[in-house]
Each structure stands twice: as structure tokens, then as C-alpha cells.
């Protein structure tokens, strides 16, 4: 049986570079992220997962097109940059991930690598993408993100 999951990811930006982690289970370079827990919104999950995996707090830079202020009826949260369906080949079986991918600016000078899921991390530039051992869709997303950093003049 295929497990269906809601997950979030954060493309962490600092000084014009993007933070990647080496995912132990998948043996690939990836940006941080993970499953949305019960009673948690995707926005709350992306902040939690990014902090847990990297040590960085992030400012999410997603749009809020309606400009709603917090009230009893509705709260407008930053939009993800994209939502992806991903077929993830875990050793224990296939997972169907619906991934809310956010852009975030790293706050603070140093992060720390969480124990367990990843063994190493690195900050990459656009020039590094071609040589990365990762999934093709991640390469495409990284290229898109570097283009957006330039076009939107995202500062970190």
C-alpha cells in the first residue's frame, strides 16, 4: 500500500546561497523538510522542520495576496513557492508526498546539523547545481530559485 503524506520543505537562502543537507535514507543532497504532524499547519511544520534539521530559524518570504490581518474568521499565511507531488522510493515502501515548498531566509550566523537524518550540509551556488548528487527535480527547483533570487532581489 502507498503511504500518502503532507510534507513541507524549505529552500533556505543566506548570502545568495542555498543550504542543502545530505539525506541519509535517500543518499541524496536535498533541502530540509519533513512531514506535517497532527494538529500542525504546513507553515508551522516548515518552521519546525527547518529549525530541527538545520538549527536555523527562517523568515518565510511567501506572498500574502489578500493582505488579511489576523482575525477570528481567517488568518492569511505565507504561500508556498510551489506544491509538488513526489513519489518517494523509501526502502520500506513507496511514499506519495504532497510537498509544500517554501522559500526562507536564514536568521542568525550559524546553524547546526540535527543528528540522525543528515550527516553533512553545504551552502551551494548556482554553479554547483550540475555536479550535485540529487534528484533531477531538485536541480530544476534550485535553478528556478536562483533565478527568483536575482529577479526578486532577495536579500539575506
> How far apart are alpha carbons 56 and 60 in whole angstroms?
12
For 34, half-sphere exposure in the C-beta direction (CA atoms, 13 angstrom radius) is 20
Q: Is the predicted pLDDT of residue 139 greater than 70, yes or no?
A: yes
> Given this structure, which CATH class describes domain 3-152?
alpha beta
Beta pairing class for 3-14 and 93-107: parallel
Q: Examine the pLDDT at 81 and tell me if it is beyond 70.
A: yes
Entry pTM: 0.89
Give kind and range of the element (H or E) at residue 53: helix 42-54
Contact 41, 76 (CB under 8 A): no
Pair 32, 50: CB distance under 8 Å: yes
Distance of CA 32 to the CA centre of its chain: 5
Mean pLDDT of 2-13: 93
Domain boundaries, the chain: 3-152
Residue 11's pLDDT band (boundaries 50, 70, 90)?
A: very high
C-alpha grid cell, residue 8: 513541507
**Is the model's pLDDT at 115 over the cut of 70?**
no
pLDDT at residue number 92: 82
Query: At 46, is the pLDDT very low, low, confident or very high (cuts 50, 70, 90)?
Result: very high
Residue 114 has pLDDT above 70, yes or no: no
Amino acid at each position: 500500500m502507498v503511504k500518502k503524506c503532507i510534507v513541507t520543505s524549505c529552500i533556505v537562502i543566506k548570502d545568495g546561497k542555498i543550504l542543502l543537507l545530505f539525506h541519509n535514507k535517500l543518499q541524496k543532497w536535498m533541502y530540509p523538510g519533513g512531514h506535517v504532524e497532527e494538529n500542525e499547519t504546513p507553515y508551522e511544520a516548515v518552521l519546525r522542520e527547518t529549525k530541527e534539521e538545520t538549527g536555523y530559524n527562517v523568515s518565510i518570504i511567501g506572498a500574502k495576496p489578500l493582505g488579511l490581518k489576523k482575525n477570528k474568521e481567517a488568518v492569511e499565511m505565507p504561500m508556498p513557492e510551489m506544491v509538488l507531488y513526489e513519489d518517494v522510493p523509501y526502502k520500506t515502501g513507496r511514499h506519495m508526498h504532497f510537498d509544500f515548498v517554501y522559500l526562507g531566509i536564514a536568521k542568525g550566523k550559524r546553524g547546526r546539523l540535527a543528528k540522525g537524518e543528515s550527516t553533512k550540509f553545504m551552502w551551494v551556488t548556482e554553479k554547483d547545481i550540475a555536479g550535485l548528487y540529487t534528484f533531477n527535480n531538485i536541480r530544476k527547483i534550485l535553478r528556478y530559485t536562483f533565478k527568483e533570487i536575482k529577479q526578486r532581489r532577495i536579500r539575506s
